[in-house]
Amino acid sequence: MTNDQLMREAIRLSRENIANGGGPFGAVIARDGEIIATGVNRVTAENDPTAHAEVSAIRRAAQVLGTFNLSGCEIFTSCEPCPMCLGAIYWAHIDKVYYANTKDDAKAIGFDDSFIYDELALPRDGRKLPAEAMMRNEAIKAFEEWAAKEDKTEY
């Protein structure tokens, strides 16, 4: 499939998902022009705040391919990814992102994630969501064990 066909599929999924009780977002993960997995936004339908189209497509692609590393794949998404989805795309090692609607388009219909970008730029003690570090002396042991582990799978 061409890039245009793959994006049209992401857009079609986004529109179909509205009729199925979900949000207006769709995503396609492809490798060499072949669809590996798709995803749609099911946040309200499944009561799962992480059920964004991109995250759902990444989860399916990882299962299909049997790996957490999606190098060699590209993602086509009906809207510019939010911070959570962008983070997931980076963690999945996807080669390239193609998007249709922009984050400003999403903001215009009530999907505004700019506050997250704003919060991340603030020092921890200046953020709206209180966060308190605790028990680091105990928790650091797991990191020390991981660092010393010789047969770990890096990601």
Structure tokens at 38: 């798709």
CA distance 4 to 1: 8
CA distance 89 to 146: 24
Question: Cβ distance 119 to 85 under 8 Å?
Answer: no
Q: Name 56's Cβ contacts closer than 8 Å, sequence gap at least 6.
A: 27, 39, 40, 41, 42
Marked catalytic residue, from 54, 138, 145, 154: 54
- 154 part of the active site: no
CA distance 33 to 74: 9
- Residues involved in catalysis: 54
